[in-house]
Amino acid sequence: MPGSAVFRETSAVERTVEVPLAHLSVELGHFYPEDLAGGAGVLAEHFRRIAPWVDRPRLGSLAGGAGGAARAGRAPRVSTCLLVDDYSDQGKMPPPAAVVPQLLAAARAQDIVIDYIARESACAAAENVPLARIVEGALVADPPYGANGSRPTLNETGWLCNGARSPSTTGTRAMGVAEPWQPPTENGSRRHSVFLDVELWSEHRGHHAWSCAFLAAVWQLLRLGLLRAGGETVVRPVTVDPADLPDRWADFPSIGRLTPAPAPFCAYRTFSVLDTGYLPVEHAVRVILGQVGVDSAALSATERRAGAEGIALPPEPADRLSYFFLGR
């Protein structure tokens, strides 16, 4: 009827804040305390090894074509970042005032620019937003065929898998026939299974610790610009002055911006150059992301904006991740 009012529940209206997007987010490394404690020599060797794989022409080819930019004669928008592990063992982490200048100098010696440095503890919680809890709450476990709900949920166990676990033979009734052993199976396997059981968190003396794999999954969602808290963005890079750095990582921004006008931190696709030791972690990341119910409004907005730039994005976020693993 003309002029009639339409009433809707506020909670029924899907709303999400959009974030600036680069074409490609490049991870230059994931540094543990022992990596940073090695000094300038260790960092120099790291950037020397990765330099051939992060030159701008090569990265441009990984940016999904960046169709609109290419047609307009513009370079693809590429930002670089690295992750510092201040979460697992905060007491051993050298302070930002000592580490950040060494990182910048080692990268600069190989003509590599570091746009952003992020703290891994911020993947657990940033600015009073429990990011890891939000992602955990968005997990939708992929049950294997024949599951009967007898196993505790992943929220109770802290474990997530990509198929059917091998059945336990414990608890067989007295005089009963023992069930034969059965192998685990991967959902959607190609002839043979690659079964993976991922620990998301652990509890020790009342302390809840998120696993490296789970925080890495949060990290990838942040880089893809797909993580929201009540529709609001959780990615807010803060400019950092390399000449005025804090002595504690707790005083360093969740995501520190090191260059004056970089491409956006979030991107349509991510590319990570990592040591081969991270390969099992990133396998776990893909399993986790395959079972995260990503914010649908953020997902559709990203696909719409990519389409406007002539970029075809895979529908699954995990398929927007690329890697290069370097042996020692």
The DSSP-derived string for 12-58 is GS--------EEEEEEEEEE-HHHHHT-HHHHHHHHHHHGGGS-HHH
Neighbours of 80 (CB within 10 A): 25
Q: Which residue has the tokens 């003509």?
A: 111
Q: According to the model, what pLDDT value does residue 99 have?
A: 93
Cα separation, 154 vs 160, whole angstroms: 6
Per-residue pLDDT of the chain (328 residues; tens, 9 = 90+): 445 444 444 444 456 789 999 999 999 999 988 888 877 888 999 999 999 999 877 787 777 555 555 544 578 999 999 999 999 876 688 899 999 999 999 999 999 999 999 999 999 998 889 999 999 999 987 665 555 555 667 777 889 887 778 776 555 555 566 677 787 877 877 888 888 889 999 988 778 899 999 999 999 999 999 999 988 989 899 999 999 999 999 999 999 999 999 999 999 999 999 999 999 999 999 999 999 999 999 999 999 999 999 999 999 999 999 999 998 7
R_g of the chain, CA atoms, integer Å:
22
In this prediction the pTM is 0.88
Closest CA to 208 of 279, 136, 150: 136
- Does residue 28 contact residue 262 with C-beta atoms inside 8 Å? no
What is residue 208's three-state secondary structure? strand
**Phi, psi at residue 271, to the nearest 5°?**
-135, 125
Q: According to the model, what pLDDT value does residue 8 have?
A: 41
Element (H, E) at 252: none
Please, what is the Cα angle at 16 between 13 and 20, to 5 degrees?
155
Domain ranges of the chain: 17-130+212-276+295-326
What pLDDT, in 10s, does the model give residues 69-125? Answer: 554 457 899 999 999 999 987 668 889 999 999 999 999 999 999 999 999 999 999
Cα separation, 180 vs 169, whole angstroms: 8
Residue 120: CA atoms inside 13 Å, Cβ hemisphere, count?
24
Query: Beta strands 267-275 and 22-31: pairing type?
Result: parallel
Q: According to the model, what pLDDT value does residue 193 have?
A: 83
Q: According to the model, what pLDDT value does residue 143 have?
A: 64
